[in-house]
C-alpha cells in the first residue's frame, strides 16, 4: 500500500471531453445533445461527441460505418482553426489560476496548483472545481480534471471519470486508484512493456508501483523508472511553462478527395506539405538534417523515401529540388494517390548549424532574409500569402470535392474586415434565428 499524507505537490491534468465535437456543439447550439462527428473531409471519424460514442461510433471509423451504427449522426468538416482558438482560450483561463501551465496538446494541459490553497481559500479540489466551472461557463465545453501529487497520477485521475469528471487522488488514496488499473493504461507504458511486465505477474499499476527498485532498475530503462517514481507519489516530471519549441521531427500530411493520379497536382500537394513543415520549423528556429516524403495510395499502402541533406535547412527553396528528385523515385504513373506527406527529421537549432568551406554563406544569408520577409507577410496577411510556384496547383484545385468538399461554416460566414486567412481571434457562437 502507498501512503503519503501530505501534498508535497499538487498537479492538475485537464482533458477536454471529445474536444473537436464539443467545440462544434458549443458554437452551434442546435447540435447540443445530438451525435456529432468531425472529419467529413477525410472520410473517417476524427472526433465523435459522447452522444455518437454512446451509439457505437469510434475514432478512426470510416464514415459509412459510423452512419450504419448511428444513422442520425451529424457529419461535419473539421475546423481546426476554431479548435485552436478554443484551445488558446482554455489555456488563458487556466493562467488566471496559476502561472505554471504546460500546454501538453491542443486539448490537454497540466497545471501546477502547489501552494495556491491559501490564495483561493480552499482545498485543491475546490480550485479544480472553479476551473472546471469557468471553462464550461466561458467556452461551453466540458472538461475532465484530475488532481494528484505527480503528472502521471494526475493523468490517471483525469481519466478515472469522463466526461465532466473531477477526481482528486491524495497520497493516502493512491493505492485505491491503481489497484484495478491495468499497467498498460498508465501514461507512458506501451503494449510491449506491459507484455514484458506480465511475464513477471505485474498486471496492475499498483503491482508495478509496488515492485522493488532493484527490479525496476535491472529490467527497465530510465523513462519507466521515472514513471515508477511518479506512481509512488514522488514527482519527477516538472510542469513546463514554456511553449513547446523542441521537436525531433515535424510532419505535414494532406489528404485529398477524390484520389488523383495527376502528377502535377500530387507534387503540388507534396510541395505544400514541405512549405508548411518549413514554416513550423522556422517558427521554432529549427533546421532539418533529413527529409522524408511519402505518397499514400488509394488502397492505403505507402511509398516513401528518406533523403539526407548536405546542410541542415528550413528553406523550401533549398529543398524543392531534392523533393522533386525523391518524388520521381516513388511516384508511379497511373496509380491513384489519396494523400501526401513530408517529414523534416534530424532537427537542430538554427544557431548550431555549421557551414562548410563549400557553402555559399552570403547566398544562405540572403535566403534567410527572403524567408524572414515571407514569414512577416504571412503574419500580417495570412499563411501562404507568398507561395512557391510548385505548390500553386494545390491552391487552384480544391482539396476535397463532392460531399467531402464542404467547408466549415466559420470559413464561409466572415465578419467585415475578415478574409479566408485572417479572422478574429475568438470562438464565435453561431446561432440560427
Give the residue numbers annotated as catalytic, written as ranges: 108
Give the burial class of 214: count Cβ atoms within 10 A of its Cβ; 0-12 exposed, 13-18 middle, 19 or more buried.
Answer: exposed
Q: Which of 384, 371, 404 is nearest to 282 (CA)?
A: 371
Query: Other CB atoms closer than 10 Å to residue 195's CB: what's the count?
Result: 10
Phi, psi of 272 (to 5 degrees): -65, -35
Here the cell at position 306 is: 528518406
CA dist., res. 267 & res. 16, Å (int): 37
CA dist., res. 179 & res. 175, Å (int): 6
Instruction: Report in angstroms the alpha-carbon separations of 307 from 141, 323, 343.
Output: 44, 9, 10
Q: Give every strand in the sheet of 143-148, ordered side by side.
A: 101-105, 108-112, 11-16, 143-148, 166-168
Here the cell at position 119 is: 490564495
Q: For 274-328, where are the E strands, in sequence order?
A: 286-297, 302-313
User: For 122, which DSSP code?
Assistant: S
Q: Which of 102, 90, 87, 101 is nearest to 134 (CA)?
A: 90
Q: Are 258 and 337 in contact, with CB atoms under 8 Å apart? A: no
CA dist., res. 320 & res. 417, Å (int): 35
Q: Which residues contact 91 (CB under 8 A, 6 or more apart)?
A: 101, 103, 109
Q: Are 183 and 189 in contact, with CB atoms under 8 Å apart? A: yes
Q: Which of 247, 338, 344 is nearest to 293 (CA)?
A: 344
Instruction: Report in angstroms the alpha-carbon separations of 88 from 92, 231, 420.
Output: 6, 30, 20
The pairing of strands 143-148 and 166-168 is parallel
Query: Other CB atoms closer than 10 Å to residue 145's CB: what's the count?
Result: 25
Query: Other CB atoms closer than 10 Å to residue 317's CB: what's the count?
Result: 13
CA dist., res. 259 & res. 236, Å (int): 47
Amino acid at each position: 500500500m502507498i501512503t503519503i499524507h501530505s501534498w508535497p505537490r499538487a498537479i492538475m491534468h485537464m482533458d477536454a471531453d471529445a474536444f473537436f465535437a464539443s467545440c462544434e456543439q458549443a458554437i452551434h447550439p442546435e447540435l447540443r445533445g445530438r451525435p456529432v462527428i468531425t472529419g467529413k473531409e477525410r472520410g473517417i471519424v476524427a472526433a465523435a461527441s459522447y452522444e455518437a460514442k454512446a451509439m457505437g461510433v469510434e475514432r478512426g471509423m470510416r464514415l459509412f460505418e459510423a452512419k450504419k451504427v448511428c444513422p442520425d449522426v451529424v457529419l461535419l468538416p473539421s475546423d481546426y482553426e476554431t479548435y485552436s482558438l478554443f484551445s488558446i482560450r482554455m489555456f488563458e483561463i487556466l493562467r488566471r489560476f496559476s502561472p505554471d501551465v504546460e500546454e501538453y496538446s491542443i486539448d490537454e494541459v497540466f497545471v501546477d496548483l502547489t501552494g495556491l490553497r491559501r490564495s483561493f481559500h480552499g482545498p485543491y479540489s475546490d480550485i479544480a472545481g472553479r476551473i472546471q466551472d469557468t471553462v464550461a461557463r466561458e467556452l461551453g465545453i466540458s472538461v475532465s480534471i484530475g488532481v494528484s501529487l505527480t503528472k502521471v497520477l494526475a493523468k490517471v485521475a483525469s481519466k478515472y471519470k469522463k466526461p465532466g469528471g473531477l477526481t482528486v487522488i491524495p497520497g493516502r488514496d493512491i493505492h485505491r486508484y491503481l489497484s484495478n488499473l491495468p499497467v498498460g493504461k498508465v501514461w507512458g507504458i506501451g503494449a510491449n512493456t506491459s507484455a514484458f511486465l506480465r511475464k513477471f505477474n505485474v498486471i496492475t499499476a499498483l503491482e508495478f508501483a509496488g515492485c522493488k527498485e532493484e527490479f525496476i532498475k535491472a529490467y527497465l530503462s530510465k523513462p519507466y523508472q521515472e514513471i515508477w517514481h511518479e506512481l509512488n507519489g514522488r514527482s519527477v516530471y516538472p510542469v513546463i511553462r514554456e511553449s513547446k519549441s523542441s521537436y525531433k521531427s515535424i510532419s505535414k500530411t494532406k489528404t485529398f478527395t477524390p484520389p488523383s493520379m495527376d502528377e502535377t497536382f500530387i507534387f503540388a500537394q507534396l510541395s505544400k506539405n514541405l512549405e508548411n513543415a518549413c514554416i513550423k520549423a522556422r517558427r521554432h528556429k529549427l533546421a532539418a538534417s533529413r527529409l522524408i516524403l511519402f505518397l499514400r495510395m488509394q488502397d492505403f499502402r505507402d511509398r516513401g523515401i528518406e533523403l539526407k541533406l548536405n546542410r541542415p535547412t528550413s528553406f523550401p527553396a533549398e529543398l524543392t529540388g531534392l523533393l522533386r528528385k525523391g518524388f520521381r523515385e516513388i511516384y508511379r504513373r497511373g496509380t491513384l494517390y489519396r494523400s501526401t506527406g513530408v517529414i523534416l527529421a534530424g532537427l537542430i537549432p538554427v544557431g548550431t548549424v555549421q557551414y562548410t568551406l563549400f557553402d555559399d554563406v552570403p547566398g544562405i544569408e540572403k535566403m534567410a532574409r527572403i524567408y524572414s520577409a515571407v514569414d512577416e507577410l504571412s503574419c500580417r496577411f495570412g499563411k501562404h500569402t507568398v507561395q512557391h510556384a510548385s505548390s500553386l496547383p494545390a491552391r487552384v484545385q480544391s482539396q476535397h470535392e463532392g460531399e467531402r468538399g464542404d467547408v466549415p461554416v466559420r470559413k464561409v460566414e466572415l465578419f467585415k474586415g475578415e478574409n479566408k486567412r485572417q479572422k478574429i481571434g475568438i470562438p464565435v457562437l453561431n446561432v440560427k434565428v
